[in-house]
A and B are shown apart, each in its own frame.
Chain A
Amino acid sequence: MPHIIPRPKLTFAEKMYLPAILGGLVITLRHFLRSLFGQTRITLQYPEQKWDENLPAHYRGAPTLVKDEWDRERCVACQLCEFICPPRAITITPGELPADSRWAKVEKYPEQFEIDMTRCIYCGMCEEVCPEQAIFLRKDYAITGLSRAEMVYDKKKLYEIGGVMDGLVNKWNDLK
């Protein structure tokens, strides 16, 4: 059975449009006046005002490398992040740790670690795949540069943004 919606019977005032128009004018004028006298504050004036402190903990900003609490780089140059990276933004040149090093057990370290920020899609897969918890997506989002070369972040810059992240990583535990 078809469901029939009857055409509404309009009163004379409704057919005239004018009362409805006046009502609409009042609504828009109210919005106008509220904005004019600063009672409406929705827009954030971006470069002056920022919302950074309200970013959630899981915010996915720039991917960075982190050091542990002994200022030792966590990355062991396993290259898992390089392989999983969908846009292939990460390039790692692995190097071998010398045998007399205190951390010789680790075997490898990244000689070079570059992330091309123009390619990165902030998916967070590198963070997910990293067995050493060495790469983290931080809250930096205003990533700018004047040339493509400048947008390729090297190891030094990545550590600079990343900072220190302490926490248990079993790899460094000699007992294991």
Chain B
Amino acid sequence: MDIWIYAIVSLVKTLTIIFVVVLPMVSYTVYAERRVSAFIQDRVGPNRVGIPLTLFGFKEDVKFHGLFQPFADALKLLLKEDFTPAHVNKFYYWLAPALAMIPSLLVLAVIPFGSTLDLDFLVTPVAKMLGFDFGLGPIPMVIADVDIGVLFIFAITSLGVYGITLAGWSSNSKYPFLGGIRSCSQMISYELAMGLSVVPVFLVVGTLNLSQIVEFQCANGWLVLPVWFHGLDWKQVALWVPLLISFVVFLIASFAETNRLPFDLPEAETELVGGYHTEYSSMKFALFFLGEYSAMIAASSVIVTLFLGGWHFPGIPDGSAGWFWGLANVVTFFAKVACVLFFFIWIRWTLPRFRYDQLMKIGWIYLFEIALVNILLTAGLLVAFS
């Protein structure tokens, strides 16, 4: 019985997080991207699509500042002709969009997006009506609370490169091919810096489990803002320096990992037409699009979990204080994710693209070394304090 309940609860959590939270978030990130970029460039952006009431005989459409744009976009992408060029390698051509989409969703499995949520006030009466007598107790708001959380994330995100590389290769056309190659070398270069930059976090926290990392931050302050909650402890301030460095390195590396500008060389429009997805159309193109944006959401979630305190916000108790606070934690987490997403977009419309050799130089000569020295610095500080 217990295992079944556990399985059902996990399934519900998974489906809810994917279909109720992440996919709508992806479409509205696209909307936000267009709107924010428009505002930054003194334009207006999509502000027209609303509920088309005129179709049903009303006098005026409801506009809502174009908030229904994602629906129109999704409909357009679904209804477009799904064209497979004759010169492509069909199997990999069809496989690539799925491979681009899946890893970024898988990453979300280990992210704790809230503390606990006690839904017994809803579940127990329903179960009683059905003739059972049980409560779920506090449900942890993480789909898979694994001890190797961060390793899992790195393992899965590095699979994301396959989608792009295969798309570039199987398209059998020069621009996608160049895009695929660029993406491959870029991902390999930045994965290293990314992996090394979080080692100081583990040295300080002492675990790879993401839930425990968040709990550590609840007790000792967010890793990038340790002085928020306590008085100034000089040891913490000293440790703050390497953690800030590792935050910046991780942030830059995750920009490169998600192919966002200034590192969007795999799809550099001005150089490579559309990059790796040049030959794709319709829903297959949309899957790349979804993959890119859900990778952005996944990266933001990881950043929030590791450095910005996860679901914790000073003044809001965790889920043991009641279901309302549990829900508030979830909302806090996604609000933070939204802020990081805004930062992603903001950066995109601020910085120009790097040249390819500059990109490689930053990755291998600066970020990699900075991350390595940072580990030594953190370890040295920790030894000195112990």
| Residue from A21, A25, A27, A31 within 8 A of B39 (CB atoms) | A31
Q: In this assembly, does A143 line the interface, its C-beta being within 8 Å of a C-beta of chain B?
A: no
Indicate if A43 sits at the interface (CB-CB under 8 A).
yes
| Contact A32/B351 with A40-B42, A42-B42, A43-B44 known, Cβ cut-off 8 Å | no
Q: A28 is contacted by which of B38, B40, B43, B44 (Cβ under 8 Å)?
A: B40
Residue of B nearest to A18 (CB): B248
Contact B39 A35 (CB under 8 A): yes
- Please give, as numbers and ranges, the residues of chain B lying within 8 Å of A25 by CB-CB distance: 346-347, 350
- Contact indicator B346/A32 (Cβ below 8 Å): yes
**Which residues of A are found within 8 Å of B346, using beta-carbon distances?**
25, 28-29, 32
Residue of B nearest to A35 (CB): B39
Most-contacted residue by chain B among A25, A32, A34, A43 (CB, 10 A): A32
Residue of A nearest to B39 (CB): A35
Name the distance in Å between A116's Cβ and chain B's nearest Cβ: 32
Q: Are B351 and A31 in contact (CB under 8 A)?
A: no
Whether A36 contacts B42 in the complex (CB less than 8 A), given A24-B351, A25-B346, A28-B350, comes out as no
Q: Which residues of B contact A21 (CB under 8 A)?
A: 350-351
B41 at the interface (CB under 8 A from A): yes
Q: Is the CB of A43 within 8 A of B43?
A: yes
Compute the total of residue contacts between A and B using a CB distance below 8 Å: 34
Chain B residues in 8 Å Cβ range of A31: 39-42
Taking CB atoms and an 8 Å cut-off, the chain B residues in 325-357 that contact chain A are 346-347, 349-351
User: How many Å lie between the Cα of A126 and that of B142 in the bound state?
Assistant: 75
Q: Is B223 at the interface (CB under 8 A from chain A)?
A: no
The minimal Cβ–Cβ distance linking B190 to chain A, given in whole angstroms, is 16
- Chain B residues contacting A24 (CB-CB under 8 Å) are 350-351
Is A32 in contact with B350, judged by CB distance below 8 angstroms?
no
Chain A count of residues within 8 A CB distance of the other chain? 15
Which residues of chain A are near B40, meaning CB under 8 Å?
28, 31-32, 35
Q: Which residues in window 1-26 of A have CB below 8 A to B?
A: 21, 24-25
> Closest CB of chain A to B306's CB: distance in Å?
21
Please, how many angstroms separate the alpha-carbon atoms of A27 and B351 in the complex?
11
Q: Are A28 and B349 touching (Cβ within 8 A)?
A: yes
> Once bound together, how far apart are the Cα atoms of A27 and B349, in whole Å?
11
Chain A residues near B347 (CB-CB < 8 A): 25
Tell me if B36 is interfacial: C-beta within 8 Å of chain A: yes
Query: CA A166 – CA B107 in complex, angstroms?
Result: 76
A24 to B40, CA, bound (A): 11
Q: How far is the CA of A29 from the CA of B350 in the complex (A)?
A: 9
B39 contacts across to A, CB distance below 8 A = 31-32, 35-36
Chain B residues within 8 Å of A43, by CB: 43-44
A36, B44: Cα distance in complex, Å: 9
Q: How far is the CA of A41 from the CA of B41 in the complex (A)?
A: 12
Shortest CB–CB separation between residue A49 and chain B, in angstroms?
12
Q: Which residues of B contact A42 (CB under 8 A)?
A: 42-43
A19 to chain B, nearest CB (A): 13
- Chain B positions within 8 Å of A35 at CB level: 38-40, 42-43
- CB neighbours of A32 from chain B (8 A): 36, 39-40, 346
B45 CB to nearest A CB, Å: 9
Chain B residues with CB under 8 A of A40: 42
Within 8 A of A (CB), among B18-70: 36, 38-44
User: What's the least CB distance linking A20 to chain B, in Å?
Assistant: 9
User: Least Cβ distance of A115 to chain B in Å?
Assistant: 33
> Residue among A27, A34, A35, A43 with the most chain B CB within 10 A?
A35
Least CB distance, B363 to chain A, in whole angstroms: 14
**Chain B: which residue is nearest A21 at the CB level?**
B351
Most buried by B among A28, A29, A31, A42: A28
User: Most chain-A CB neighbours within 10 Å: which of B41, B350, B351?
Assistant: B350
CA distance A135 to B41 in the complex (A): 43
Task: Give Cα A35–Cα B35 distance, bound, in whole angstroms.
Answer: 10
Nearest-CB distance from A42 to chain B (Å)?
6
Residues of A within 8 A of B36 (CB): 32
Residues of A within 8 A of B41 (CB): 31
Query: With A and B bound together, what is the CA distance between A24 and B347 in angstroms?
Result: 9
Binding site for A on B (CB under 8 A): 36, 38-44, 346-347, 349-351
- Identify the 8 closest CB pairs spanning chains A and B, nearest first: A35-B39, A24-B350, A28-B350, A43-B44, A32-B39, A28-B40, A32-B40, A40-B42
Q: 17 interchain pairs (CB within 8 A)? A: A21-B351, A25-B346, A25-B350, A28-B346, A29-B346, A31-B41, A31-B42, A32-B36, A32-B39, A32-B40, A32-B346, A35-B40, A36-B39, A42-B43, A43-B43, A43-B44, A45-B44
Known A31-B42, A43-B43; further 18 A-B contacts with Cβ < 8 A:
A21-B351, A24-B350, A25-B346, A27-B350, A28-B350, A29-B346, A31-B39, A31-B41, A32-B36, A32-B39, A32-B40, A32-B346, A35-B40, A35-B43, A36-B39, A40-B42, A43-B44, A45-B44
